C-alpha cells in the first residue's frame, strides 16, 4: 500500500499540483489544481470548482494521476489512484470553507483520491516506483 511521507506532504503543500485524467474514449486532460492537499497518508484531495473536463472525466473514469514538481530541486512525484467525488458531508463542507477563505468560488465537489502508487519523476530516479 502506498504511503505519503512527510517529505511528499511538504512537496504537495509547497508546489503546484497538476491533475491528469482521461475520458472514457482515452482523450487525455491535465489541469492545475491549487486546492490540492494531503488528507492523510493514503489520500489527496482537491476542490473541483470549474466543473469542466477534469470533473466530467472523473464522473465516468475515476482513474487519476497527480504530478507535483519542484523544478529548482529536481524533485517530482506522480501519485496514481482512484478518485471519489464528494458533494456533501464534513470533508466537502470543509472544502467549501477553505475555498471561501481563499476568495475562490465554492466547489461543486471535493475530489478524494486514494493513492495506490507513487513514482519518482525527478533526477536521478526518473520513473522509479517508490510506493
Structural domain contains residue 58: yes
Peptide bond before residue 124 is cis, with ω within 30 degrees of 0: yes
Alpha helices, DSSP H only, in 1-131? 6-14, 53-60, 90-101
Whether residue 105 lies inside any domain: the answer is no
User: To the nearest whole percent, how much of the chain has pLDDT over 90?
Assistant: 77
pLDDT at 125 over 70: no
Express each pLDDT in 75-102 by its tens digit: 999 999 999 999 999 999 999 998 898 8
Cell numbers found for residue 80: 496514481
Give the C-alpha separation, 112 to 118, whole Å: 16
CATH of the domain at 25: 2.30.110.10
Residue 37 lies in a domain: yes
Residue 131 inside a domain? The answer is: no
Residue 26 lies in a domain: yes
Task: Count up the domains in the chain and report the number.
Answer: 1
Print burial letters for 51-89: b (CB count within 10 Å at least 16), e (below 16). eeebbebbeebbebbbbbbeeeeebbbbbbbebbebeee
Give the span between the Cα atoms of 96 and 82, in whole angstroms.
22
Q: Structural domain of residue 17, as residue ranges?
A: 6-45+52-85+112-123
**pTM score, two decimals?**
0.91
Amino acid at each position: 500500500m502506498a504511503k505519503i511521507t512527510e517529505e511528499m506532504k511538504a512537496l504537495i503543500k509547497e508546489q503546484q499540483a497538476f491533475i491528469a485524467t482521461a475520458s472514457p474514449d482515452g482523450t487525455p486532460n491535465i489541469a492545475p489544481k491549487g486546492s490540492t492537499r494531503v488528507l492523510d497518508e493514503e489520500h489527496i484531495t482537491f476542490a473541483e470548482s470549474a466543473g469542466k473536463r477534469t470533473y466530467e472525466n472523473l464522473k465516468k473514469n475515476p482513474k487519476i494521476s497527480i504530478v507535483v514538481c519542484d523544478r529548482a530541486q529536481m524533485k517530482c512525484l506522480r501519485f496514481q489512484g482512484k478518485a471519489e467525488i464528494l458533494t456533501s458531508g464534513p470533508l466537502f463542507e470543509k472544502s467549501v470553507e477553505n475555498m471561501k477563505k481563499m476568495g475562490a468560488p465554492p466547489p461543486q465537489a471535493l475530489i478524494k483520491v486514494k493513492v495506490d502508487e507513487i513514482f519518482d519523476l525527478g533526477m536521478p530516479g526518473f520513473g522509479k516506483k517508490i510506493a
